[in-house]
Chain A
Amino acid sequence: MKPFDYTRADSAAQAVREYAPGTMYLGGGTNLVDLMRLGVAEPERLVDVSRLPLDTIESVRDRVRVGAAVRNTDLAVDPMIRARYPMLARAVLTGASGQVRNVATVAGNLLQRTRCAYFQDVTRPCNKRRPGSGCPAIAGDHTNLAILGSSEACVATHPSDMAVALAALEAEVHVTGPGGDRIIPMPGLHRLPGEEPERDTVLEPGDLITAVELPPPPAGATVYRKVRERASFAFALVSIAAVLDVGDDGVVAGCRIALGGVAHAPWRAERAEQALIGGPATGEAFLRAAEAELEQARPLPRNAYKVPLTRNLIVSTLEGLAS
């Protein structure tokens, strides 16, 4: 690990003032410190933002504002979150372990890096870590990597569960930074790799996440489901956050599907959603919608299973919500 300086900020404004190239913000450190140990992240300076006064969950009119430094555990057990956004509580609870969630923050969870094995090993090439060095995952181990929206440069997935639920809930990410304040609607925070896989998000250097704001819960039934070969403490192979609102006439009035584990960003299955809204809520329609979405999938040999897995998951999840 490279030696680094450490300071603790008392306010968001101060944290941003402390920012200079080579600086990184430190949340719970459950991802960043691991990456520093591995030599993947080599900040010269850490500004600790985990104890900023951004650690409350408040309802503001019909919306709920979650501070960036709220711990994952506190978010998941909050009575208001559980009552109004059970999908979010569920998504957070399926992530990591109790110990990690106790330390991890909301902002840190959103900005955690991919778990691609090559990315985490500085002795191997990786375009995301060292732009231009190549992407060995495409010919090598990509079992857990992307089938949608990937590029020749990178097929990584974003590992967060919480981000998938936030994409379905259309949460807003509040950001402050050297360039002023901004609001980024989810799933717009994370980007697809394209030619610049080194950029996970649309954030600019020095941008600090201050809060995540949840709009009123969508109409309809919601659910979060995560698929993994180990029953707990494992990242998703694929996950889904879904909202389905079926009218008395059996017609789909509203539908949102966000997928995790399939792309470089939480993936809103817009084609499937479009295909369903205004149509019947039947298994057949769900299947057609899932297939419409997955037409654009570009699986690799070892992750081709994610195509039937995602299709099944969409169909079965919507069937569950419809009944």
Chain B
Amino acid sequence: MNRIEGRVKVTGLATYAAEYPVEDVTYAFPVQSQIAKGRVRHVDAQDALAMPGVLAVLSGEDPPPLASGADGELALFQSREVAYRGQIVAAVVADTYENARAAAAVVRVDYDSDDHDVSLRADHPGLYKPDHVNPAYPTDSEKGDIEAGLAEAATVVDVVYETPVLHNNPMEPHAALACWDDEGGLLVYDTAQGTTLSRDTLAQVFGLPKERVRVVSRHVGGGFGSKGTTRPQAVLAAMAARVVGRPVKIVLTRQQMFDVTGYRTPTIQRLRLGADAQGRLTALEHVAYEQTSTLEEFAEQTATPTRIMYATPALRTAHRLVRLDVATPSWMRAPGECPGMYALESAMDELAYALGMDPVELRVVNEPETEPDSGLPFSSRNLVGCLREGARRFGWEHRDPTPGVRRDGEWLIGTGVAASTYPARRRPSKARAVVEDDGDFLVQVAAADIGTGARTALTRIAAEALGVAPERVHVELGDSDLPEAPVAGGSMGTASWGSAIVRACEELKSDGKEGLADTTEEVRGDAAFSRHAFGAQFVEVRVSSVTGEVRVPRLLGVFAAGRIVDPKLARSQFIGGMTMGMGMGLMEETLTDEEFGGFLRRDLAQYHVPACADVPDVEAVWLDERDAELNPMASKGIGEIGIVGTAAAIGNAVYHATGHRVRELPITPDKILMPRF
């Protein structure tokens, strides 16, 4: 289906958080810490307050009260401690954006600074074992005897892979517009991936009953996880609005987005794989080293995909974290699977070479009967089907595995493959469906459309459940006053909201007027299965032997992700994910500033994401997969799986092209050239 809101978006009529016309609005601009660790000694607001249009300066000098127990990234001005460079330590509110920004530049902040530590190392003395990893996985897993498995292996691969700090960079900057009403109720137009969660968080931070808070996010210009949790701009807008007694708007700059809206932790991953002569794994170990902040713990679940991928008698995964003087990492498209599968699927390719085996066959040989770690049956698993179909479409059978032998002038040519996977879960959701006066149907759910086409997909799901044309169904979402729903995240949105919508529509059909659904019980009753989507990605690369430049003329993804609700929307999700994975493979990298703390390259001229010229031919197809265990739509989430495996497939192809294995992302020309000369 074409996107329902396509026309209002391209004509500029779609209203994003910062665009609601609100009378008497004022503007806030944050002041950010210039040290990486220490304390704010004093905030001198005198000069700023004397600037034109300035209404207030907020800071720890006279902290506006918040309820206790707020998330460390949201408890603005409640403490004088500085946890990272770029943290918000004050803010100016003024009558215009320009006045607020100009005044923010003259707020003087004095610090007592301490020595900082912003460097992740695998031998960092501060490494510890978190209680669990995001969102609630066990930190470690162990089955069988790794050392024995390695000892008996015919071939062992023992490698370390590294990934850098990565940022989501949605097109729409994080923004918020907050208004308090006369009764002390709070309305926030937020850039939220979930209005229910954002409402709950704001209610908690301000110590308000949920009923007094409303969050509206009708259109969100991308999030990828960075808008999945409430971000400081929403708290700051609400706090400032209370102080000045007028609505307050905040739009973060791109640079501020790099500082305070989360990022993907850098990872150092050690993999040890043992296999017998036939390629069957005898041991598989995956240990991930990652960072978090001193404010909050976020433990990316990097090694968890290794728990479900391949059959092996000995399987161990572990996560170790270190608290550094950095911002708290957070969700970025496919947290865990994305960096973890980069390392695992690269190591699998190394194993294939060590064994002299085709990498597709190696994966097929190690296909498990049940989920390797838990032993649970799969609700459905078609990795082998994806590998076979991809190999057929890509022309894999003619591939000569010898590295570094195909040339077109200065360009070395190679191909690579990697598997993709992502969990297919759902969460409880509510929904309401009613017949409108004109006989059309109104479907309400506090879901979010962050550019994925959720509004359109849900319309289609409701229309199918009602047995009517999609034109007769109107889906309302993006408002916490609608029936409560989980965030657009974890590739669970459509499955969760869709389940509730189908149930509400079913009830409407029997009731004739209205259907109300709450899937809490239904979801709780979901049978114990290992629920995952799978895929296989094939890429061709050209690597310049002169410059080390890597180009990707061909990118193919084959996915088995349940029933595809809408092909047009699905294709966008898959190729969008693959393109982002390509960026991860070849260009995306935020540098940590060792000397001063904080990040470097905080804009889109320096933090490169792929341009159209980088993806001349990206194709996504899917297998027809029927999985009745999942949800009424029989669908699996597709928002994230596309990014999983792309970087590994590219790295594997670069090895095939050049004979050189780059184990540190991104694979930039320097990393190709230096070892060769």
* Complex Cα gap A164–B409 (Å): 26
* Complex Cα gap A192–B608 (Å): 28
Contact of B546 among A121, A143, A316 (CB under 8 A): A316
Say yes or no for B611: interface residue by CB 8 A criterion: yes
Q: Note all chain A residues with C-beta closer than 8 A to B600.
A: 117-118, 121, 140-141
Contact A140 B551 (CB under 8 A): no
- The interface centre, meaning the residue of B547, B601, B666, B674 with most chain A CB atoms within 10 A of its CB, is B547
Q: Note all chain B residues with C-beta closer than 8 A to A232.
A: 611-614
Say yes or no for B550: interface residue by CB 8 A criterion: yes
Q: Note all chain A residues with C-beta closer than 8 A to B674.
A: 304-305, 308
Contact A229 B669 (CB under 8 A): yes
Give the residue name and chain of the A residue nearest to B672 (CB). Answer: A305
Contact A140 B595 (CB under 8 A): yes
Q: How many residues of A contact B (CB 8 A)?
A: 37
* Complex Cα gap A124–B597 (Å): 10
Contact A1 B102 (CB under 8 A): yes
Say yes or no for A230: interface residue by CB 8 A criterion: yes
Q: Note all chain B residues with C-beta closer than 8 A to A115.
A: 605-606
Say yes or no for B34: interface residue by CB 8 A criterion: yes
- Bitwise, A300-313 to B at CB < 8 A (1) or not (0) is 00111100110011
- The interface centre, meaning the residue of B102, B587, B612, B670 with most chain A CB atoms within 10 A of its CB, is B670
Contact A230 B611 (CB under 8 A): yes
- Bitwise, B494-514 to A at CB < 8 A (1) or not (0) is 000000000000000000000
* Complex Cα gap A302–B601 (Å): 15
Contact of A143 among B595, B602, B612, B670 (CB under 8 A): B670
* Complex Cα gap A39–B32 (Å): 15
- A interface: dominant SS: loop
Contact A229 B586 (CB under 8 A): yes
Q: Note all chain B residues with C-beta closer than 8 A to A141.
A: 591, 593, 600-601
- Bitwise, B589-620 to A at CB < 8 A (1) or not (0) is 00101111000111101101011111000000
Contact B587 A308 (CB under 8 A): no
Q: Note all chain A residues with C-beta closer than 8 A to B591.
A: 117, 141
* Complex Cα gap A143–B548 (Å): 15
Say yes or no for B668: interface residue by CB 8 A criterion: yes
Quote the shortest CB–CB distance from B433 to chain A (angstroms): 44
Contact of B595 among A123, A139, A237 (CB under 8 A): A139
Give the residue name and chain of the B residue nearest to A100 (CB). Answer: B605
* Complex Cα gap A235–B105 (Å): 30
Say yes or no for A61: interface residue by CB 8 A criterion: no
Interface residues of A in 61-90 (CB under 8 A from B): none
Say yes or no for B20: interface residue by CB 8 A criterion: no
* Complex Cα gap A86–B593 (Å): 41
* Complex Cα gap A238–B591 (Å): 21
Contact A3 B546 (CB under 8 A): no
- The interface centre, meaning the residue of B105, B596, B610 with most chain A CB atoms within 10 A of its CB, is B596
Q: Note all chain A residues with C-beta closer than 8 A to B614.
A: 230-232
Quote the shortest CB–CB distance from A4 to chain B (angstroms): 11
Q: Note all chain B residues with C-beta closer than 8 A to A316.
A: 410, 546
* Complex Cα gap A313–B673 (Å): 12
- Bitwise, B568-596 to A at CB < 8 A (1) or not (0) is 00000000000000000011000101111
Say yes or no for B319: interface residue by CB 8 A criterion: no
* Complex Cα gap A141–B640 (Å): 32
Q: How many residues of B contact A (CB 8 A)?
A: 40
Quote the shortest CB–CB distance from B58 to chain A (angstroms): 20
* Complex Cα gap A58–B612 (Å): 35
Quote the shortest CB–CB distance from B145 to chain A (angstroms): 42
Given A141-B591, A308-B673, A308-B674, are A228 and B549 also a contact pair (CB < 8 Å)?
yes
Q: Note all chain A residues with C-beta closer than 8 A to B522.
A: none
Q: Note all chain B residues with C-beta closer than 8 A to A237.
A: 669
Give the residue name and chain of the B residue nearest to A230 (CB). Answer: B608
Say yes or no for A234: interface residue by CB 8 A criterion: yes
Contact B34 A123 (CB under 8 A): yes
Given A1-B101, A140-B595, are A231 and B605 also a contact pair (CB < 8 Å)?
no
Given A237-B669, A305-B673, are A313 and B546 also a contact pair (CB < 8 Å)?
yes
Contact of A312 among B101, B547, B587 (CB under 8 A): B547
Given A3-B102, A141-B591, are A305 and B669 also a contact pair (CB < 8 Å)?
yes
* Complex Cα gap A121–B548 (Å): 30
Give the residue name and chain of the A residue nearest to B253 (CB). Answer: A37
Contact of B549 among A1, A117, A139, A227 (CB under 8 A): A227
Say yes or no for A254: interface residue by CB 8 A criterion: no
Interface residues of B in 419-467 (CB under 8 A from A): none
* Complex Cα gap A308–B677 (Å): 7
Q: Note all chain A residues with C-beta closer than 8 A to B105.
A: 39
Say yes or no for A233: interface residue by CB 8 A criterion: yes
Given A229-B669, A231-B614, A305-B674, are A1 and B548 also a contact pair (CB < 8 Å)?
no
Contact B547 A313 (CB under 8 A): yes
* Complex Cα gap A234–B410 (Å): 22
Contact of A1 among B32, B98, B611 (CB under 8 A): B98
* Complex Cα gap A239–B550 (Å): 16
Q: Note all chain A residues with C-beta closer than 8 A to B595.
A: 136, 139-140
Quote the shortest CB–CB distance from A161 to chain B (angstroms): 14
* Complex Cα gap A215–B167 (Å): 47
Contact A117 B601 (CB under 8 A): yes
* Complex Cα gap A117–B601 (Å): 6
Q: Note all chain A residues with C-beta closer than 8 A to B548.
A: 305, 309
Q: Note all chain A residues with C-beta closer than 8 A to B549.
A: 227-229
Q: Note all chain B residues with C-beta closer than 8 A to A308.
A: 673-674, 676-677
* Complex Cα gap A240–B474 (Å): 57
Give the residue name and chain of the B residue nearest to A124 (CB). Answer: B596
Quote the shortest CB–CB distance from B602 to chain A (angstroms): 8
Quote the shortest CB–CB distance from A132 to chain B (angstroms): 17
* Complex Cα gap A234–B604 (Å): 10
Contact A229 B550 (CB under 8 A): yes
Contact B669 A309 (CB under 8 A): yes
Return the 9 tightest CB-CB contacts between A and B, nearest first: A305-B670, A231-B613, A232-B613, A308-B677, A316-B546, A227-B547, A312-B546, A117-B600, A231-B614
Beyond contacts A230-B611, A234-B611, A313-B547: 7 other A-B pairs, Cβ-Cβ < 8 A, are: A39-B105, A121-B602, A230-B586, A230-B614, A232-B613, A304-B674, A305-B670
Residues on B facing A (Cβ under 8 Å): 32, 34, 98, 101-102, 105, 410, 546-551, 586-587, 591, 593-596, 600-603, 605-606, 608, 610-614, 666, 668-670, 673-674, 676-677
Please list 20 pairs of residues, one from A and one from B, whose beta carbons are closer than 8 Å in the complex, sorted by A's number: A1-B102, A2-B102, A115-B606, A117-B601, A117-B606, A121-B602, A136-B595, A140-B595, A140-B600, A141-B600, A141-B601, A143-B670, A229-B550, A230-B587, A230-B611, A232-B611, A232-B612, A237-B669, A238-B547, A313-B546
